[in-house]
Amino acid sequence: MVDASIVGFGFYYEKKVEVPAVELFKRSIIEAIKMANMEKDEIDGLVVTAVPGTIDNSHDTGIFLINKVASKVGINKLNYFDYVYTGGSSIVVGTYRAFKAVESGLANNVLVVGGGKGNLLKRIRSSMFESTIKNYVNEGVTYYELTIPTIEFYPTSDYALIANRYMREHNTDDSGRAMIAVKQRENANLNPKAIYRGKLTLKDVLESPMVSYPLRLLEVTNPVDGALAILVSKNASKSSISPIKLMGFGEATLTIPLAERENILDTPVKHSVRRALNSLNLDKIDYYGIYDAYTIMVLLEIEGIGLADNGKGGEFVMGDSFLPTSSYPINTSGGSLNVGQVGFTSGGVVLAEALYQLAGLAENRQVKDARIALVNTLGGVFDHSATIVLGVE
Amino acid sequence: MVDASIVGFGFYYEKKVEVPAVELFKRSIIEAIKMANMEKDEIDGLVVTAVPGTIDNSHDTGIFLINKVASKVGINKLNYFDYVYTGGSSIVVGTYRAFKAVESGLANNVLVVGGGKGNLLKRIRSSMFESTIKNYVNEGVTYYELTIPTIEFYPTSDYALIANRYMREHNTDDSGRAMIAVKQRENANLNPKAIYRGKLTLKDVLESPMVSYPLRLLEVTNPVDGALAILVSKNASKSSISPIKLMGFGEATLTIPLAERENILDTPVKHSVRRALNSLNLDKIDYYGIYDAYTIMVLLEIEGIGLADNGKGGEFVMGDSFLPTSSYPINTSGGSLNVGQVGFTSGGVVLAEALYQLAGLAENRQVKDARIALVNTLGGVFDHSATIVLGVE
């Protein structure tokens, strides 16, 4: 079997840019190729991940989207290509696919690109999401009827529901969850490229405007424009970074819509993490990337990963954590809460920081001896969880 | 590595049925599970392939679509799931993915389901396709401008253009290409489930109404409703069929839009076939499934596979071929020209027949000693080609 590794990556984003989405892809791809010291025409595999609506104002996906992206960036013949859409976890699933495509000989150099214009989808989101949700009801499922009053806030109101239930179930208040925003901001202040920076206290978070009870404005990510490109290759010799290897991967999916689940706190995270870790112990993990579109996601992921027992995630957050110098460095870029949610998913943001850490390119927020990183990402409303473990020698 | 095989399949279709698309999936899944002697709750992986618009009247794809399908058919926890969309080749790519998911330990029993309501998309196709094609132009590609007069006939007019060019380039007439419809009808007359049956002569084809010069009505498939379900498992012991193994797979993609290609007769078929065959010779192939939405596709695939030299496909067709008893049994069900294009792609139709042949379930059209089958499928306008080689002991 071929020995595949990540040999380059590029992460380009801005709060808002008035260029086509494909141009964002192109900019991240140029960075990735440069890091890998590779020519564009060596690329013979392409995986595109994008939330429908972030490329242009249509739901169009699949072969046409990928062909357009490839054609625009000048990749003209592919032995392997894929469009992955598992929601916010797409880029992690796509990266795993790229490894497998190289390992199985389908292609030699596979480019994974994820992102798009978060701002574009923000503008058109109401009608897009309404159409998406309506598909649940077209064939008689009751989900839409049950949640119809909250559709305008989807998916925020669903995560709010979960946060609410969490507090009730575990008899906690908001502070542990809200503290996640504070910890991530401390990290963002070490990242000159973070879009949101500056001092942030727990009081600031708890007094920020209520979005959907109990989630407040500073607990919710804000979509921005950009893309992450990752190059997986069977030849690491020319790369300017140490090859980043795949050490484990797992995914898990719940197919019952949220409103119909027996227990809305029962997430797929523990299943995907267990599969990704395989025989590895958590004490081997040097860095954690945790999907952070909403603070409540991070809280439940911390518990799903096994960093804290159920209901004890808040206590873990309150302790020494998150900073590059702590025992548990988490989202050291500031996460999507502070970098912004690139292309309407937080997956690229948390994965990119893990890559910077493993490549030793995280500058003044570098985690010392970061050899193994675990990245957990989510899609849908806890519908899908994908966990990847990556490592360098 | 786990030894994966196809242990069951189900192929359900009707010319037109007034039930939701998910119900068509369910019916094919029930058949597949029954053949495999498996319980539904053993399924822990799901791959869905469907042309956007054939599930309901939206472009919705990805996580929500799969969750809906899974939820409706009662599959509630998945370790692996995927939505594949490479156009008409999707079901073959999805089947390969299922093998890889089982082999790599992501899941034990992966269900692949492809199809939907061809009739639904037929009703709404004009606006759907127009929106799809318009995405080419949104960011300045000239394809749309070049082809705008023909959009209403997309993709028929594109294949007509290719057929035209083929005749000019190779100095041939229509007859070799049109004869494909005749040969496939001869096979359809052996298949009681074919939707189009009865005597058909070359004269009938050449005198059928012109759709887009030089393609005539009887050279074009007609979308119908239905689905193909395939179950790939690491445990073949309970199955009622001999395990069907993956012997090879290849895909190839051209990313330049048709109107901008240097040579529109240069298809990706030969690349995907070469990769799928690997070191296998064509003389080992007992059965051929060839994507047949339009006769011109079959003609160029025959040449791409290597059954005939470039420009000589028509001569090959005119010779002894296609019938179950011939040296080159091709599309023995009658292909999608006679079965109908299930769910708006011909991939399921040609793949299903290969499975019936390998499982020895093709009844009075059974190819004697059919041990190895090559199935070639296409997506887009010769954008994508996927070839799979399957075999039984």
- With a CB cutoff of 8 Å and minimum separation 6, the contacts of A4 are A98, A99, A102, A103, A232, A233, A234, A246
Assess contact for A346 and A88: CB atoms under 8 A.
yes
Of A67, A135, A249, which is closest to B380 when you measure between CB atoms?
A67
| Residue B30: burial class (beta carbons within 10 Å; 0-12, 13-18, 19+) | middle
Confidence of residue B289 (pLDDT cuts 50, 70, 90): very high
B258 to chain A, any CB pair closer than 8 A? The answer is: no
Q: Which residue has the tokens 């606006």?
A: B127
Per-residue HEC secondary structure of B15-61 comes to: CCCCCCHHHHHHHHHHHHHHHHCCCHHHCCEEEEECCCCCCCCCCCC
| Cβ contact B86–A63 (<8 Å) | yes
| A-contacting residues in B 96-125 (Cβ below 8 Å) | 100, 104, 106
Cα separations in angstroms, B76 against A262, B24, B49: 12, 19, 18
Confidence of residue A129 (pLDDT cuts 50, 70, 90): low
Task: Using an 8 Å CB-CB cutoff, list chain A residues near B249.
Answer: 106
B137 is a domain residue: no
pLDDT number for residue B21: 87
β-bridge mates for residue B253, sequence order: A78, B384
The pLDDT mean for chain B works out to 91
pLDDT number for residue A255: 87
Helix (H, G, I), strand (E, B) or coil at A248: strand
pLDDT number for residue A363: 97
B52 is a domain residue: yes
B82 is a domain residue: yes
| Residue A303, pLDDT above cutoff 80 | yes
B182 is a domain residue: no
pLDDT digits (tens, 9 = 90+) for B238-251: 999 999 999 999 99
Of B124-128, B146-150, B191-195, B258-262, the range with the lowest mean pLDDT is B124-128
Assess contact for B231 and B9: CB atoms under 8 A.
yes
β-bridge mates for residue A246, sequence order: A390
| A-contacting residues in B 43-82 (Cβ below 8 Å) | 52, 55-56, 58-68, 70-72, 75-82
Sequence letter at residue A45: G
B40 to chain A, any CB pair closer than 8 A? The answer is: no
Mean pLDDT of B291-300: 98
Assess contact for A84 and A49: CB atoms under 8 A.
yes
Mean pLDDT of B21-27: 91
pLDDT digits (tens, 9 = 90+) for B306-340: 999 999 999 999 998 899 999 999 999 999 999 99
Mean pLDDT of B278-289: 97
A228 is a domain residue: yes
A183 is a domain residue: no
Task: Using an 8 Å CB-CB cutoff, list chain B residues near A58.
Answer: 59, 131-132, 134-135
> Percentage of chain A surpassing pLDDT 70?
90
Instruction: Establish whether this prediction's ipTM goes over 0.85.
Output: yes
Cα separations in angstroms, A366 against A330, A340, A341, B369: 12, 20, 22, 63
| Cβ contact B52–A63 (<8 Å) | no
| Cβ contact B65–A135 (<8 Å) | yes
Both tokens assigned to A286: 């040097």
Mean pLDDT of A113-120: 90
Assess contact for A158 and A150: CB atoms under 8 A.
yes
B133 is a domain residue: no
Print the domain residue range for A10.
5-120+224-233
pLDDT number for residue A121: 78
pLDDT number for residue B130: 58
| Cβ contact A135–B64 (<8 Å) | yes
Sequence letter at residue B196: Y
β-bridge mates for residue A178, sequence order: none
Sequence letter at residue A315: E
Count CA within 13 A, CB hemisphere, residue B261: 21
pLDDT number for residue A223: 94
| Residue B192: burial class (beta carbons within 10 Å; 0-12, 13-18, 19+) | exposed
Q: Which range, A132-136, A325-329, B81-85, has the best average confidence (pLDDT)?
A: A325-329
| Residue A265: burial class (beta carbons within 10 Å; 0-12, 13-18, 19+) | middle
pLDDT number for residue A64: 63
A20 to chain B, any CB pair closer than 8 A? The answer is: yes
B248 to chain A, any CB pair closer than 8 A? The answer is: no
Dihedral through CA B206, CA B209, CA B214, CA B217, nearest 10? -90
Count: domains in chain B: 1
CATH number at residue A113: 3.40.47.10
A96 is a domain residue: yes
Task: Using an 8 Å CB-CB cutoff, list chain B residues near A86.
Answer: 62-63, 81
Instruction: Select from B93, B139, B273 the residue whose CB has the most chain A CBs within 10 Å, as the one to mutate to test that interface.
Output: B139
pLDDT number for residue A220: 97
pLDDT number for residue B306: 98
